[in-house]
Structure 1
Amino acid sequence: MPQNLDAVAVRAWCRLALEALGGAREEIDAINVYPVADGDTGTNLYLTMESASQAVDAAFTGHEPAAPSLAQTVRAMAHGALIGARGNSGTILSQLLRGMAQVLGGPDGEGAREADHADGRTLELALRRAAESAYEAVAHPVEGTVLTVATAAAQAASAEGAGDCEAVARASYEGARAALALTPGQLAVLGRAGVVDAGGRGLVAVLGALVAALSGEKVSFTSAGGGHARVVAGADEGPPAVDRVAGCDDLPAGEGGPAFEVIYLLEADDAAVARLRTRLDRLGDSLVVVGGDGLWNVHVHVDDAGAAVEAGVEAGRPHRIRITHFGLGDAHTTPQPPRERAQRAIVAVVPGEGLAGLYAEAGATTVPTRVGEPPASGELVDAVRRAHAREVVLLPNDAELRHTAAAAAQQARAEGVRVALIPTRSAVQGLAALAVHEPDRGFDEDVVAMTSAAGATRYGELAVAERQSWTMAGICQAGDVLGLIDGDVAVIGAEVARTATSVLDRMLSAGGEMVTLVLGDSVPDTVAERLEKHVRETYLAVDTVVYRGGRQAALMLIGVE
């Protein structure tokens, strides 16, 4: 029996969409030829939907034992997608979900904000608003893309008229499928590659999941060329799957286009964002700005990544900045003979060039990152490829990179590399793991030893508060020195050395044999000397080792083994 679109159905939709995109991720990555053939559309859609699904789950947890309202659920979904949007495709998907939420859970007088469920007419309006808002978010809309597929889905839903939610969803899904099959004839780059639009194909999977959530049926793709699918009765036939499309593995990565993809969340007002759009449009292409109510997700392809970030700083407060290099110049290098694949390698994300050099000296392939600018999954996959090994140990060295690293590991495994992901949450845990790495022993044995060493290392960090806020240690003011232990603020101080001493004392209260200090450029040597002396005089038989993190490193990292 068809189900109403209520909070429970929205939660099921998010979970089924995540399952569908997870099953189709590799194939969607493989047909990613527009706007840049960087092979990550499926991964970006998955990570965006994962963030939306997690936000919905959190909304349900926060309202236990009762369920949240439909409005609260769709707003959580849209907000989760906005803050977790990845890449051009993920950013557009987040705006599609936001457009639906504006109708299903919009302000007073719109949609079904106070209702327990939405009817077919409201869902049709939501799909229409989703397509309209996505077009509005893209600076220069192009037909033959996910925008075309979204519009066709909305038009098909409107043609269904006053049907129930399941009928409207099914009509939109069928309309999207038909539109997807036509995309190679609408966009020349797709026609030359013989593939459908990757973002549109992902949207078909998301709409298929909506049909499944409302009908209790499963959706499976059956034709790769047009992305056709069938709705199959029953719930035990496994997740949706997409057949691989041939002919796109060796496509050039957008030759002649900008060198960098820049993405960041931005806190700014509408007027500042309007000016930002104009400036970024002059700097590059593939500009998509989504969001509202003071929080935006900005995506653009540029040659000058610094200028794109600077524009965001002038508009408001950018954070979660991600800069990905497309590597477009590689085609002009002198061809080299293929080198033999190594047996095992370490790939590590590291903050600051000082740590990058330290990891490199130990034989690791590094992915440098700056504070607030974590790498995208594509960068991690590229690093795995550069390592050129049959077996790879991946060290993300950041708790927030867990999902990104997992997606990268999954993609690398699909390419035939055996990858083990050790969930290191700090670079000092990565150093502990690297210290016990022995490439000559068995892979599983080596991974277990490295995981054990990382897990036995407590990690701390010193940072400077950007603004007044609540913490687990009390209220901090802008400019205060914050001492974090295992990711939580434990000490609030006014001076680096004293705050670091307090953090060390707390970490060593449970015992320890080795203290590792990684100092940023702004921390003088005298601070390290003072901390070394304190450890030597207060804790017998505890050794201290000091490294310089270099520019862009954290103020201070502390490890206790």
Structure 2
Amino acid sequence: MRPAAHTRRPFKEDHQVPQNLDAAAVRAWCAGALEALGRERADIDAINVYPVADGDTGTNLYLTVESAAQAVEAVFAAHETRADLPEPADTVRAMAHGALIGARGNSGTILAQLLRGVAERTGAGEPLPAALRRAAVLAREAVAHPVEGTILTVAAAAADAAEAVAEPRDTAAVARAAYEGAGAALDATPGQLAVLGRSGVVDAGGRGLLVVLGALVAAVTEEAPPVPAPLRHGPLPVPEQCAADGPAFEVIYLLEAGDAAVARLRARLDVLGDSLVVVGGDGLWNVHVHVDDAGAAVEAGVEAGRPHRIRITHFASAPAAAPAPAPAPDQRAVVVVVPGEGLAELCAGAGATTVLARPGEPPASGELVDAIRRAHAREVVLLPNAAELRHTAAAAADQARAEGVRVALIPTRAAVQGIAALAVHEPDRRFDEDVVAMTAAAGATRYAELTVAERQSWTSAGVCQAGDVLGLIDGDVAVIGTDVTTTATAVLDRMLAAGGELVTLVLGDGAPADVPVLARLERHVRDTHLAVDTVAYHAGRGSPLLLIGVE
């Protein structure tokens, strides 16, 4: 039999409280939630058994709320020299935005969507019950396959209890009711989800949400936080069995994309893996999925828009497993497709086997298979470095696998992405870990190229004339100029406006010999964009005029 429900400290009923969430209350809520999760994150980690028993739910929720709290503090810092407080709508939206950009893990991503729902309604002046209902609805819609007995169930119960309060604008009463409803729902989760019942624990994500709601009660009542529910129950007899295996990787990234592209992305990722959660809106999304093919998940994001802040985590198959022995010298190789002999020499110098792609003559799958064979390795990482080579590279990888070679295809779309991947390649690492690191480096790299227009033409940046220098960012013409340095400077400024830590410059053989292009561009980055490092290469023969990568 399950133990009786926990006892909570009674609330003061005569305390005067704000009738709506003001800026100070939101600030206190964030700070209180961060402090409470900091105290409890180890305990929440310890009961994390769903959807993956990786023991990080408490930590992920803490990091998500930490980002939300930092965003709120930034809003207050902007008002330090003024007598007034920030607007409540600005504060609650900052909280939601901070959670979105800092969301970690499955539960952290769902919490970010819950806070988005709260921000939508309270920012528009609606009472807390409407905000909690919107939060629960948005969070459920964000999850590809909702499961009862999780944080979604607890959020819905909190909304139900809040809506039952007679006076919806009595924020204190609503917050208390939501907390009580969430606590009761959390107590019931072991009976709803088999893995929780077998383990004798409540849902970790739901427990984290209860902690956040407790901090809300404390913020609007100025009382001590409520006493939380117990973490563990006795095991329940349930017939279902847990799946023995699951996807190997957790992939998370921020994505700049439109609604239609995100709808297509959801459908594609749903086929690739599970635990899919896509939250956000207004052009900025946080994507979370568990997959076996991390590269395919990142590639799906690249096709949908611009992914960044990519994080890929390899789920350990056995926490106590002995480390894998270091591979033999011929255990692993990297095969890379490059546009030009100069780049081929550059990549070969880094230890890669290269395949030359000449203008208008992309390599066939047979050439890639020959290169894989030529590498004489049991494990191969394949970098096609062009979007149009994706299917060709996939066919080559399949053929090589049929011959007994373990091949990982990282869907690089440009040579600078391949260079970024090659820069973090470590053959002494385990294969999966090496592929994860290389995929993350490539996916975090935006790319640009300078070329010379051959004729007058319409472009996305306007009309160009023959001989103009064109700056293409992620494949689209963004800048039209008359000389290499000025055009490249404009391209760099556009790319770095969205942030960046490292700029890679690869100069080909078409640049004017009497102009120190690389030196001027490195100086511009150093003087204009503080804390951004640069690395430059002379690629020479057959290489594009100038390649730019921003990580």
Question: Is the TM-score greater than 0.5?
Answer: yes
The equivalences for 1:129-278 within 5 A come to 129-162=134-167, 164-219=170-225, 221=227, 223-225=229-231, 255-278=244-267
- 1:16 is aligned, of 29, 32, 37, to 32
Q: Is the 8 A contact 1:465 1:480 kept in 2?
A: no
AA of the residue aligned to 1:96: L
What does the per-residue CA deviation read over 1:183-242, in whole Å, with 9 as the maximum and x for residues that have no partner? 111100011111110100000000000011111112254653369xxxxxxxxxxxxxxx
The equivalences for 1:290-439 within 5 A come to 290-328=279-317, 330=318, 368=437, 370-371=440-441
Shift of 1:61: 2.0
Distance 1:103 1:186 in 2: 30
Distance 1:371 1:355 in 2: 7
Identify if the C-alpha distance between structure 1 residues 355 and 124 changes in structure 2 by more than 3 Å, giving closer, same or farther. closer
Shift of 1:524: 4.3
AA of the residue aligned to 2:163: S
AA of the residue aligned to 2:277: V
Q: Is the 8 A contact 1:279 1:311 kept in 2?
A: yes
> Secondary structure of the residue that 2:164 maps to in structure 1?
helix
Q: Is the 8 A contact 1:82 1:291 kept in 2?
A: yes
Tell me whether 57-66 or 69-78 shows the greater mean CA deviation.
Answer: 57-66
Q: Is the 8 A contact 1:490 1:503 kept in 2?
A: no
Shift of 1:501: 3.8
AA of the residue aligned to 2:27: R
Look up the match of 2:490.
477
Distance 2:56 2:162 in 1: 29
Does residue 78 in structure 1 map to residue 92 in structure 2? no
Look up the match of 1:58.
74
Distance 1:189 1:488 in 2: 42
Q: Is the 8 A contact 1:280 1:311 kept in 2?
A: yes
- 1:68 is aligned, of 73, 86, 89, to 86
Distance 2:113 2:149 in 1: 18
> Secondary structure of the residue that 1:68 maps to in structure 2?
coil
Q: Is the 8 A contact 2:502 2:534 kept in 1?
A: no
The equivalences for 1:83-162 within 5 A come to 83-106=101-124, 111-112=125-126, 122-162=127-167
Distance 1:327 1:31 in 2: 17
Distance 2:295 2:281 in 1: 24
Q: Is the 8 A contact 1:88 1:299 kept in 2?
A: yes
Identify if the C-alpha distance between structure 1 residues 498 and 475 changes in structure 2 by more than 3 Å, giving closer, same or farther. closer
Aligned length: 379
AA of the residue aligned to 1:83: I
Distance 1:335 1:215 in 2: 52
Shift of 1:159: 1.4
Distance 2:525 2:142 in 1: 48
Q: Is the 8 A contact 2:503 2:549 kept in 1?
A: no
> Secondary structure of the residue that 2:172 maps to in structure 1?
helix
Does residue 35 in structure 1 map to residue 105 in structure 2? no
Q: Is the 8 A contact 2:48 2:204 kept in 1?
A: yes
Identify if the C-alpha distance between structure 1 residues 98 and 475 changes in structure 2 by more than 3 Å, giving closer, same or farther. farther
Distance 1:314 1:125 in 2: 36
Q: Is the 8 A contact 1:75 1:101 kept in 2?
A: yes
Shift of 1:491: 13
> Secondary structure of the residue that 2:307 maps to in structure 1?
strand
AA of the residue aligned to 1:188: A
Distance 1:367 1:272 in 2: 25
> Secondary structure of the residue that 2:225 maps to in structure 1?
strand
Shift of 1:477: 2.7
Shift of 1:255: 3.3
Does residue 3 in structure 1 map to residue 9 in structure 2? no
AA of the residue aligned to 2:203: D
Distance 2:42 2:496 in 1: 41
> Secondary structure of the residue that 1:219 maps to in structure 2?
coil
AA of the residue aligned to 1:7: A
AA of the residue aligned to 1:54: Q
Q: Is the 8 A contact 2:187 2:229 kept in 1?
A: no
| RMSD across aligned positions (CA) | 4.5
What does the per-residue CA deviation read over 1:95-136, in whole Å, with 9 as the maximum and x for residues that have no partner? 000011111114xxxx34xxxxxxxxx111111111111111
Q: Is the 8 A contact 1:481 1:494 kept in 2?
A: no
What does the per-residue CA deviation read over 1:18-40, in whole Å, with 9 as the maximum and x for residues that have no partner? 11111111111111110011111
Shift of 1:180: 0.7
Look up the match of 2:276.
287
Shift of 1:359: 11
**Which has the greater radius of gyration?**
2
> Secondary structure of the residue that 2:280 maps to in structure 1?
strand
Structure 2 residues without counterparts, runs of 5 or longer: 1-14, 236-240, 325-419, 445-471, 480-485, 528-532, 542-547
> Secondary structure of the residue that 1:291 maps to in structure 2?
strand
Distance 1:142 1:358 in 2: 40
Shift of 1:93: 0.1
Identify if the C-alpha distance between structure 1 residues 480 and 76 changes in structure 2 by more than 3 Å, giving closer, same or farther. closer
Q: Is the 8 A contact 2:495 2:550 kept in 1?
A: no
Q: Is the 8 A contact 2:115 2:135 kept in 1?
A: yes
Shift of 1:84: 1.0
Look up the match of 1:417.
none
Identify if the C-alpha distance between structure 1 residues 508 and 310 changes in structure 2 by more than 3 Å, giving closer, same or farther. closer
AA of the residue aligned to 1:316: G
AA of the residue aligned to 1:151: A
Structure 1 residues without counterparts, runs of 5 or longer: 113-121, 228-244, 247-251, 337-350, 375-463, 510-516, 527-553
Shift of 1:324: 1.1
Identify if the C-alpha distance between structure 1 residues 166 and 130 changes in structure 2 by more than 3 Å, giving closer, same or farther. same
Identity of aligned residues (%): 58
> Secondary structure of the residue that 1:265 maps to in structure 2?
strand
Q: Is the 8 A contact 1:286 1:300 kept in 2?
A: yes
Q: Is the 8 A contact 2:76 2:85 kept in 1?
A: yes
